[in-house]
Chains A and B, each alone.
Chain A
Amino acid sequence: MTKLLQRLTLAEWDTRYAALRASGLGEPWYGGPLSRHAQQGDVRLRRLRFDQSPAALRLWNFVLSEEDRLRQYQASGKRLVGAMKDLGTVPVLAFSLPSLVAFYPDGAWWTPCLMEYGDGLLQAADRLGIDDSFCPVRAMLGAFVLGNRFPLPGLLIASVGATCDDLAAIAQRLEDFGHDVLWWEMPHRRQPDPGEPAVELPGGFVAAASQVAAVRAELARVAGALGRYAGQELNDDLLRRGICRANRVRSLLDQLRWTVFTAPVCPLPALEMLAAEMLAIHFCSDPAEATAVLEGLLAEVRRRVAAGQGVVPKDAARVFWVNPVADLRAMNLLEDAGGRVCGTEYLFCHALDPIPVDVPPLEALARMALADPMVGSPADRAARVVRDAARFGAEGVVISRIPGASHCGLEGALLARHIRRAADLPVLELEVPPVLDPLEPTLATRLEALVETVLQRRV
């Protein structure tokens, strides 16, 4: 049996990095040892274990250097757009204009985890009356107030409606601080009435044509605002090219997910897969580099699959993971418990589907936006999970709740109910806080119990 590829601690990565450099490793400008990020404040990295490939190193350096990249863009004259809540739509529009760079300020929700609360962002939110009964995305409010994380964007674009109340509340607060927010309506996706014209969406959902039309009109408004901000009209040609670039990233991710999730032996850890999938929503502010990073990962994964190399034992329980985790360490815990991730729904599976190219670009984006699993019913979302779980051969499902997130309290139970009935899969619900250390024993117990259940069902 091929020996498992060891996951490395940060200190072990330093040793490996030195060896790679000595053997001629080439790196982009943002390269370097992972440990430097920990020295700069991301201390949580010391508690994680990472894949040992140069491709993974590039992925982490790419993700962890985003704030530097944004500052460089701003300094070079590009204009920054902050997209909020819609995951995957507005950046496609924004990046279609050469002078714009889009990112998600809500990504700051991981900062308290990475800095183990040393960032002060949550405390800043506390002072503004947004306490820990809200989702950890409140760190975004702290980031805007303190101004010591990402450079402040000149335009904020927030989707509201069938989104989530926490973010809507926090985004509203940003207006008080003088930020201009363009609000656009995302309707709750519903089944068409009998006889009502319907449109099939990417990913298999269906929506009323009138809803697609409404979203299209809203995206036209967003496109107009972006064009004025950039000083250049966002026409269909530009948009088609932007969609094409986005689809390249989505295609790479689709191939990566398929290869990793269906391989007999898991070739890439869950932690790196989580980071990689996040590139779908705004390309980590650099579509071209995101493409290169994913190409590198895919090549590495294919090489490993061909060689029969894996990072967890072959008999690891195949787990479908629903919702992103506030503490990245949870992904290590799953593998420590004997599981592997075979399928994910991190709140943005619509951003992993190809954007249609056989309809006008705004129509295509409207359909894609309405395919967001969060804007429809839990039954719809569960149906997608069940479909994808079957596609990837998952044997169990984890639904991780985000503490304080306004949708999680009820939605988790509803999803679990639907999945159990439709797929006859064991489902585990967990709540993962930004630093899970106090709960590690109980979380580990639960994950181990799920793995044991899965293994027993194989007999």
Chain B
Amino acid sequence: MNLCAGIDAGSRTIKVVVLDADTLEVVAAGACDQGVEQEAIALGLLDRLLAQHGLQRPAIRLLVATGYGRKLIHEAHAAITEITCQAWGVRHQMPAARTVVEVGGQDSKVLRLNEDGSVAEFAMNDRCAAGTGRFLEVLATRLGVRLANLGDLARRSRRPAVISSMCIVFAETEIIGLLASGVAPEDIVAGVQASIATRVAAMASRHLATPIVFTGGVALVPGMDSALSAALGQPVLLPPQPQLTGALGAALLAARRLLGTLTTALDAAGQGARPSGLRPEPPL
């Protein structure tokens, strides 16, 4: 078995995907919080995932790192930007995707893809936290709820609050004011989701082509896909594991290098092979 791995060393979490290069099946995948010793944390996660399958690190024939901390993973054989890896990862799972909107803990990106899946253009926001997951973290802390429960709260909203602050520092003050004036927490959550979505949509509006796929850790938060869809005025799709698309793309690139074979799902489908270990693509 030819195993390859991709490590996405993001600003808040590290994601790892181990791939069977011959079948393009995901053998193992996981995520953990980022820390100071990035390489140790990443390799530790990789080792734990391999151990679950009775494997060890020497079994990995090629390792590609991506993400904010990619150049700190010295064990990796190569470092490729998360833009390229996201494109590969998303297109492998959703071959028709033309726009990727990735919202992480501290940044957000929009990629427009050509028909062949290559990146046509991209935009990044890594200056302002207002359009990132950080805003949700601030909100969760202020409301005293877990991040994972925000979606449930938002679903109960009947009248989302308008959060018009451009900066989350001021937005936090605004949220306190809304709570004090009796606005329901669920309406505030829905308002924050809409605010994040609006900021992302503003960056994305120049680069849109459908279908639009939403990835990144923030895509895991229930309700954010609806908020983004409303802000864009277009439906958005979620890949099976939105947080892992970058690491998957890195692993796919490693596989391609290793075997010199086609690695997109579309290409694989043309040769009769189907990727497994992933949920089937939703109909477009």
Cα distance, A408 to B162, chains bound together (Å): 28
Given contacts A438-B163, A438-B164, A438-B171, contact A128 B202 (CB under 8 A): no
Kindly supply a per-residue 1/0 record for chain A positions 308-330, scoring 1 wherever the CB is within 8 Å of any chain B CB and 0 otherwise. Answer: 00000000000000000000000
Q: Tell me if A132 and B202 are in contact (CB < 8 A).
A: yes
Cα distance, A126 to B207, chains bound together (Å): 11
Cα distance, A131 to B166, chains bound together (Å): 13
Q: Tell me if B206 and A441 are in contact (CB < 8 A).
A: no
Q: Tell me if A441 and B202 are in contact (CB < 8 A).
A: no
Q: Tell me if B206 and A126 are in contact (CB < 8 A).
A: yes
Does A439 interact with chain B (Cβ within 8 Å)? Answer: yes
Using a CB-CB cutoff of 8 Å, which residues 401-459 of chain A contact chain B?
433, 435, 437-439, 441-442
Residues of A in contact, count (CB < 8 Å)? 14
Cα distance, A438 to B165, chains bound together (Å): 5
Contacts of B170 in A (CB 8 A): 438-439, 442
Does A251 interact with chain B (Cβ within 8 Å)? Answer: no
Cα distance, A127 to B203, chains bound together (Å): 8
Kindly supply a per-residue 1/0 record for chain A positions 213-251, scoring 1 wherever the CB is within 8 Å of any chain B CB and 0 otherwise. Answer: 000000000000000000000000000000000000000
Q: Tell me if A127 and B205 are in contact (CB < 8 A).
A: yes
Q: Tell me if B202 and A438 are in contact (CB < 8 A).
A: no
* Minimum Cβ distance to chain A for residue B42 (Å): 35
Given contacts A438-B170, A438-B171, A438-B174, contact A126 B164 (CB under 8 A): no
Does A129 interact with chain B (Cβ within 8 Å)? Answer: yes
Q: Tell me if A126 and B177 are in contact (CB < 8 A).
A: no
Does A377 interact with chain B (Cβ within 8 Å)? Answer: no
Q: Tell me if B206 and A128 are in contact (CB < 8 A).
A: yes
Cα distance, A438 to B177, chains bound together (Å): 9
Contacts of A442 in B (CB 8 A): 170, 173
Cα distance, A437 to B174, chains bound together (Å): 9
Q: Tell me if B173 and A441 are in contact (CB < 8 A).
A: yes
Residues of B in contact, count (CB < 8 Å)? 14
Kindly supply a per-residue 1/0 record for chain B positions 167-181, scoring 1 wherever the CB is within 8 Å of any chain A CB and 0 otherwise. Answer: 000110110010000
Best-buried of A129, A132, A435, A438 by chain B (most CB within 10 Å): A438
Contacts of A259 in B (CB 8 A): none
Cα distance, A453 to B274, chains bound together (Å): 74
Contacts of A433 in B (CB 8 A): 166
Cα distance, A441 to B170, chains bound together (Å): 11
For A436, the closest partner residue in chain B by CB is B164
Cα distance, A433 to B165, chains bound together (Å): 10
Does A262 interact with chain B (Cβ within 8 Å)? Answer: no
* Minimum Cβ distance to chain A for residue B162 (Å): 8
* Minimum Cβ distance to chain A for residue B227 (Å): 16
Does A9 interact with chain B (Cβ within 8 Å)? Answer: no
Contacts of B205 in A (CB 8 A): 123, 126-127
Q: Which of A129, A132, A435, A437 contacts B206 (CB 8 A)?
A: A129
Q: Tell me if B177 and A441 are in contact (CB < 8 A).
A: yes
Given contacts A123-B202, A128-B206, contact A437 B164 (CB under 8 A): yes
For A124, the closest partner residue in chain B by CB is B205
Using a CB-CB cutoff of 8 Å, which residues 118-172 of chain A contact chain B?
123, 126-129, 131-132
Cα distance, A128 to B202, chains bound together (Å): 10
Cα distance, A123 to B170, chains bound together (Å): 22
Cα distance, A441 to B177, chains bound together (Å): 9
Best-buried of B164, B170, B206 by chain A (most CB within 10 Å): B164
Cα distance, A38 to B166, chains bound together (Å): 25
Kindly supply a per-residue 1/0 record for chain A positions 92-134, scoring 1 wherever the CB is within 8 Å of any chain B CB and 0 otherwise. Answer: 0000000000000000000000000000000100111101100
Contacts of B163 in A (CB 8 A): 438
Contacts of B206 in A (CB 8 A): 126-129
Cα distance, A441 to B165, chains bound together (Å): 12
* Minimum Cβ distance to chain B for residue A169 (Å): 16
For B162, the closest partner residue in chain A by CB is A437
Cα distance, A126 to B163, chains bound together (Å): 19
Q: Tell me if A126 and B165 are in contact (CB < 8 A).
A: no
For B177, the closest partner residue in chain A by CB is A441
Kindly supply a per-residue 1/0 record for chain A positions 324-342, scoring 1 wherever the CB is within 8 Å of any chain B CB and 0 otherwise. Answer: 0000000000000000000
For B231, the closest partner residue in chain A by CB is A123
Cα distance, A438 to B162, chains bound together (Å): 9
* Minimum Cβ distance to chain A for residue B212 (Å): 15
Contacts of B174 in A (CB 8 A): 438
For A437, the closest partner residue in chain B by CB is B164
* Minimum Cβ distance to chain B for residue A446 (Å): 14
* Minimum Cβ distance to chain B for residue A86 (Å): 30
Cα distance, A439 to B174, chains bound together (Å): 8
Using a CB-CB cutoff of 8 Å, which residues 134-172 of chain B contact chain A?
162-166, 170-171
For A441, the closest partner residue in chain B by CB is B177
Contacts of A437 in B (CB 8 A): 162, 164
For A435, the closest partner residue in chain B by CB is B164
Contacts of A439 in B (CB 8 A): 165, 170
Cα distance, A435 to B195, chains bound together (Å): 15
* Minimum Cβ distance to chain B for residue A124 (Å): 9
* Minimum Cβ distance to chain A for residue B21 (Å): 40
Contacts of B177 in A (CB 8 A): 441
Cα distance, A131 to B199, chains bound together (Å): 11
Instruction: Provide a sorted-by-A list of 5 A–B residue pairs whose CB atoms are within 8 angstroms.
Output: A123-B205, A126-B205, A433-B166, A435-B164, A441-B173
A-B contact sample (19 more), CB < 8 A, given A127-B206, A433-B166, A435-B164: A123-B202, A123-B205, A126-B206, A127-B205, A128-B206, A131-B202, A131-B203, A132-B166, A132-B202, A437-B162, A437-B164, A438-B163, A438-B164, A438-B170, A439-B165, A439-B170, A441-B173, A441-B177, A442-B173
Closest 8 A/B residue pairs (Cβ): A438-B165, A127-B205, A126-B202, A438-B164, A438-B174, A126-B205, A127-B206, A435-B164
